[in-house]
């Protein structure tokens, strides 16, 4: 548990998790855009359109949290505040 906590405290690990969440959002957006084209509708499969209302809420919340988390990290690491 202690080891896990220290891994999560690591700045690089935090950037990895933030990057991963943003990447998933990007996959969702790209899949949705491509599936708008009639012959490329199958790309919808890679996206998250089929999520239930609850899952959608949690996922959107997680994405917004990741954006704020990224802001906080950049604020600390680039500008040296905090």
Q: Contacting another protein (CB under 8 A), which of 17, 26, 64, 67? A: 17
Number of helical H runs and strand E runs in the chain: 3, 0
What minimum distance in Å lies between the beta carbon of 81 and another protein? Answer: 26
Task: Compute the chain's Rg from CA coordinates.
Answer: 16
70 contributes a contact to another protein by CB under 8 A: no
- The whole-angstrom separation of Cα 62 and Cα 58 is 6
Q: How far is CA 73 from the centre of its chain?
A: 15
Q: Least distance in Å: CB of 41 to another protein?
A: 7
Token reading at 46:
């890679």
The two three-digit tokens of residue 34, written as one number: 């491509």
- What mask, x for binding another protein by CB under 8 A, covers residues 20 to 59? xx-xx--xx----------xxxxx-xx-x-xxx--x--xx
Footprint of another protein on this chain (CB under 8 A)? 12, 16-17, 19-21, 23-24, 27-28, 39-43, 45-46, 48, 50-52, 55, 58-59, 62
């Amino acid at each position: 548990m202690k080891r896990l906590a220290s891994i999560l405290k690591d700045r690089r690990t935090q950037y990895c998790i933030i990057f991963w969440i943003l990447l998933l959002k990007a996959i969702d957006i790209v899949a949705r855009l491509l599936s708008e084209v009639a012959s490329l509708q199958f790309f919808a499969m890679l996206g998250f359109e089929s999520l239930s209302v609850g899952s959608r809420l949690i996922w959107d919340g997680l994405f917004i949290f990741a954006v704020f988390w990224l802001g906080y990290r950049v604020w600390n690491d680039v500008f040296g505040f905090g």
